[in-house]
Amino acid sequence: MTKDAVRQRIAELTRLIDYHNHRYYILDDPEITDADYDRLFDELTQLESQYPDLQLPDSPTQRVGAAPTTEFLSVKRAVPMLSLNKAIIPDEFDDFDRRVREGLAGDSDIIEYVTEPKLDGLAVELVYENSILTLGLTRGDGVTGEDITANLRTVKTVPLKLRDCDASLVEVRGEIIMTKGDFARLNKERESAGEELYANPRNTAAGSVRQLDPNVTASRPLKFYTYACGRIAGVTIQNQWELLRFLTRVGFAITPESKLCYQRDEVLLRYHHLNEQRATLDYDIDGMVVKVNSFRQQQKLGELSRSPRWAIAMKFPPQQEETVVEDIVVQVGRTGVLTPVAHLKPVRVGGVEVKRATLHNYDEVTRKDIRIGDHVIIQRAGDVIPEVVKPLTTKRTGAERQFTMPGSCPICGSVVVRPEGEANHRCPNSVCPAQVAERIIHFASKGGVNIDGLGPKFIEQLLAAGLIHSFADLYYLQHNDLANLERMADKSTINLLAAIEKSKRCDLEHLIVALGINNVGEHVASLLAEHFGSIDTLSTTTADVLGTVEGIGPIVAQSIRDFFDNDRNREVLARLQQAWQVFPEYSIVAGPKPLAGKTFVLTGGLQKYSRDQAKKKLQALGATVTSSVSKKTDFVVAGADPGSKYEQALKLKIAILSEDDFLKLIGES
Ligand code: IVH
C-alpha cells in the first residue's frame, strides 16, 4: 500500500468504527457482529502502529487508557456549571411554577417545561472544538474543574468527534454513570476474584472517573448521558428540547425518559410516573429535574447564586422495600449503650444493598412490635441509615420470636443496667472490649482527631494483636509493630505512622470530641473549648462552674466531671499527653475581619461543615450569625434541603449563597 492508500484506509476505518460504536453504544442497535467489529479495530490498530503519524485525533484506538498522571490540572470555565435548588415534596413544584410565572409576567409565550430524570452520577463537561473532543472536566466547584480528558476519552458513549456538526465550539454537560446492570456484573467479577465489593453505582462511577490512571477508567463500564450545554458557537438553539435533539443528532445519549410537558399537571404526572419506574430503570436516579424549556425565558428568569430560577430538582420520597428480619443482634457502643440491630435479608433500596438497620433501643422495638422472622418495610432516605418502618403483621406465621434485651453484655458478660429515666440499656464495664474498640474508633474518626486511614477494621486488628489498649497507645506504635501485621505493606505502615503523627496537630474542639466524654458532641465541645481554652483547665473545673456555661446543663456538666474523675481516663490522658507533649489550646482566630458588620443566617445542610463549624468560620471573619431571617440579614447560606428560612430570604430578596459561594467567601475554594 502506498502511504496515501494507508491514509485513506485509516480515515475509512476510523469513520466505520465510530459509526458502529454509535450504533452499538448509543442506539443500542448494532449492525455487525462483535467479531467483525474486532477485525476492523485490529486492522486500524495495526496500521496506526506502522504509521503513527497518520493516526487521527479522533481515532477510536485512543479510547484505551493513556499513561497515568500524578495529578489533575485545574481548568477555569467560561460559563459556570450551575447547581439546582431542591423541592423536597412535589407540592412545592407549585411554588416554583408560581415564581416562574411571576418572573415571566408580561411574557406572551406559553411556558413549557422539560422534565428529565435527575441522574445520580458524576457531573462532567466535554469541550468540542470544530467537532473534536479537546477537553473533559469534572464539575469541581462549578467554575473550576479538573482536567480528566484522558479518562473521559475511554468512555464509549463519549464521542471523540461530533457527527455532522457545524458548531465551532460545543461545551456539553452531563453525567457519568454506571448502570445497575453493569454495576452488578462488575461486583460479581470482583466477588469471584476475591476482591472487595463496591458499595453502589454512583460512588463507583465517580471513583472510576477520578482515577489518575486512565487504564483503570477504561476498564470500568461507564456511560455518559447529556442534559445541558455551556457555550455553543455556530448553531442557534432556542430551547432545551431542541438542545436535547441536537445533542442526540451529533452523537450523544440522552435519557429516554426526558419529556416535554405543556402544563403543570403533566409535570406532576411525569413525576409520579418516574417515581414508579425508578426501581425498574437500569440507572439510579434521585429525583426529577424540571427546566423551563425556552432559553429566552430562562435568560429572563436568570439565576440566584448559581442556581437557576428556571430549573428545580424534585426529589423522590424515601424508597421503601420489603424484607425479612433474620435476627436482632445487640451491639455495644462506645459508651456502653446496647443497641438492637436488625439483621435483614439483603435487599436493594435506592441502589444500595441493605443488610442491617438500627432499631435504636428496646422501647423502639416494642413500640413498633418488630419480631425476629417478621416481614418488614424498610426505608432509606438519601444517604441516611436505613430504618425499619413497620412489620407486616398479616404475614406473620406464628413462628416469629419476640426480642428481649439480654441480661448480660454479649461481649464481656457484665450485668446489663438500665439507668432510671433512660431509654438505653448499658454495659457498665468501661473496659468491655467492645467499648474500648468503639472509643478508639471514635477517637481516630473524622469528627475526632482524624487519623487518615485508621478505620474500624484496622483498629480491631491492632487490638487483637495486643498492640493497643487505649487511644493513647496509638502514639507509641513503632514501625515494626505494624509491619508485622497481616496485609501491611511497608508503604501503608509509613503512611499510617505519618497520619498518626499529623493528628497531634488537631484543634482543641476536635480533641475534646475525640475523648468520647458522654453527652459531649461537636457542639458542646466547641462551647467547652471556647470557655475553658485548654484540657488542663477543663479537666480541673468543677461541675458547678461547668454548668454556668450557656448551653451546658447539669447532666452534661456531671458527665464531664465524671470523665475526668475516672482513674482509668486520667491514666490514658496522661499517657496521651506524654506522647503529644503539648495539647492544643483554643485560639480566637486573629487576623482581618472582612465580614465585620455583616449578618448571616444558615439553613440546610452543608457538605463540608456542620452548621456550628460554618458559624464559627463566619464569626472568625467578623460576621454575626443569627438564627432567623429578617430585613437586617445580609446573606443566607443555603445548603441542601433548605427550609422556610430560604423561602423567607426569597421573599425579602436577601442574597442567597450556595455552599460553594460560602466556601469562596471564607477563602476555602
Ligand atoms: S441541569 C440548571 N439536568 O444535578 C443546571 N442536572 O444540582 C444544572 N443532574 O451537578 C444542571 N441530572 O450533576 C441537570 N437532568 C439533569 C440532571 C442534573 C442530574 C445533577 C448534576 C448537577 C446537579 C445539580
The tens digit of pLDDT for each residue in 270-323 reads 999 998 888 788 898 889 999 999 999 999 999 877 788 999 999 887 778 899
| Cβ(311) – ligand 1 distance below 6 Å | yes
pLDDT at position 69 over 90: no
d(CA 212, CA 487): 24
For a pLDDT cut of 70, what percent of the chain falls above it? 97
- Contact residues for 183 (Cβ-Cβ < 8 A; gap 6+): 198, 200, 201, 204
Separation of CA 514 and ligand 1 centre (Å): 37
Output the CA–CA distances (angstroms, integers) from residue 658 to 141, 304, 306, 629, in the order listed. 11, 9, 7, 16
User: Is residue 433 within 6 Å of ligand 1 at its C-beta?
Assistant: no
Among 148-152, 172-176, 211-215, 465-469, where is mean pLDDT lowest? 211-215
Edge to edge, the sheet with strand 223-233 lists 132-138, 122-129, 169-177, 223-233
Identify the pLDDT of residue 383.
47
**Averaged over 200-227, what is the pLDDT?**
90
Q: Report, at the CATH architecture level, how domain 433-505 is classified.
A: Orthogonal Bundle (1.10)
pLDDT band, residue 57 (cuts 50/70/90) = confident
**72 CA → ligand 1 middle, Å:** 23
Task: Compare 558 and 524 and report the one with higher pLDDT.
Answer: 558
- pLDDT category, 589, cuts 50, 70, 90? low
Distance in angstroms between the alpha carbons of the first and the last residue of the chain: 56
Q: How confident is the model at residue 618 (pLDDT cuts 50, 70, 90)?
A: confident
What per-residue confidence (pLDDT) applies to 448? 93
Binding site membership of 82 for ligand 1 (Cβ less than 6 Å): yes
Ligand 1 site, residue 308, Cβ cutoff 6 A: yes
Per-residue model confidence as pLDDT tens digits over 623-657: 888 888 888 889 999 988 887 888 888 888 888 89
Q: Is the CB of 228 under 6 A from ligand 1?
A: yes
- The arithmetic mean of pLDDT across residues 18-45, rounded, is 86
When pLDDT is averaged across residues 473-494 and rounded to a whole number, the result is 87
Q: Catalytic site residue 457?
A: no
Instruction: Report how far residue 81's alpha carbon sits from residue 58's, in angstroms, rounded to the nearest whole number.
Output: 26
Cα–Cα distance measured from residue 313 to residue 267, given in angstroms and rounded to the nearest whole number: 12
**Cα 525 to ligand 1 centroid, rounded to whole Å:** 37
Q: How far does CA 361 lie from the centroid of its chain? A: 28
Q: Given this chain, do its domains 3-64 and 433-505 carry the same CATH topology? A: no
Instruction: Answer whether 124 contacts ligand 1 (Cβ < 6 A).
Output: no
Q: Could you tell me the distance, in angstroms and rounded to a whole number, from the CA of residue 189 to the centre of ligand 1?
A: 31
Which cell is 37 given? Answer: 467489529
In this predicted structure, what is the pLDDT of residue 40?
A: 92
Q: Which of 79, 83, 659 to mutate to test the pocket of ligand 1 (most atoms within 8 A of CB)?
A: 83
Separation between Cα atoms, residue 397 and residue 383, nearest integer Å: 33
Question: Which amino acid type is present at position 16?
Answer: L
81 CA from centroid of ligand 1 (Å): 9
pLDDT at 99: 92
Give pLDDT, residue 642. Answer: 83
Please, which residues bridge with residue 75 across strands?
A: 145
Computed over its alpha carbons, how large is the radius of gyration of the chain?
29
Average pLDDT value for residue range 36-52: 91
Asked if residue 257 has its Cβ within 6 Å of ligand 1, the reply is no
3-state secondary structure of 281: coil
d(C-alpha 189, C-alpha 187), whole Å: 5
Report pLDDT for 350: 65
Classify domain 508-580 at the CATH topology level. DNA polymerase; domain 1 (1.10.150)
Nearest CA to ligand 1 atom 13: 123
**Average predicted confidence (pLDDT) for the chain:** 89
178 CA to centre of ligand 1 in angstroms: 16
Out of 3, 76, 86, 118, pick the active-site residue: 118
Q: Model confidence at 567, in pLDDT bands (50, 70, 90)?
A: very high
Mutate to test the pocket of ligand 1, among 126, 137, 289, 303 (most ligand atoms within 8 A of CB): 289
Instruction: Determine the CATH number of domain 599-665.
Output: 3.40.50.10190
pLDDT for residue 48: 92
CATH number, domain 85-315, options 1.20.1440.230, 3.40.109.10, 3.30.470.30, 3.30.1490.20: 3.30.470.30
Which amino acid residue places its CA nearest to atom 14 of ligand 1?
Answer: 227
Residue 349 pairs in a beta bridge with 352
Atom of ligand 1 nearest to the CA of 117: 15
Dist. CA 252 → ligand 1 center (Å): 16
- 36's CB contacts (< 8 A; 6+ apart) are none
Between CA 411 and CA 420, with CA 416 as vertex, the angle to 5 degrees is: 145
Which atom of ligand 1 lies closest to the CA of 258?
15
Cα distance between residue 504 and residue 435, in whole Å: 23
Is the beta carbon of 83 within 6 A of some atom in ligand 1? yes
Task: Note the pLDDT of residue 571.
Answer: 95
Give the pLDDT of residue 33.
83
Give the residue, 27 or 412, on which the prediction is more confident.
Answer: 412
Atom of ligand 1 at shortest distance to CA of 175?
Answer: 13
Cβ–Cβ < 8 Å for 87, 313: yes
Whose CA is closest to atom 17 on ligand 1? 118
Atom of ligand 1 nearest to the CA of 86: 7
Model pLDDT, residue 88: 64
Query: Given 1.10.1380.10, 3.40.50.360, 3.40.50.620, 2.40.50.140, which CATH number is that of 320-395?
Result: 2.40.50.140
Domain extents in the chain:
3-64, 85-315, 320-395, 433-505, 508-580, 599-665
Helix (H, G, I), strand (E, B) or coil at 199: coil
Residue 83 CA to ligand 1 centre (angstroms): 6
Q: Which residue's CA is minimally distant from atom 3 of ligand 1?
A: 227
CATH 1.10.287.610 fits 3-64, yes or no: yes
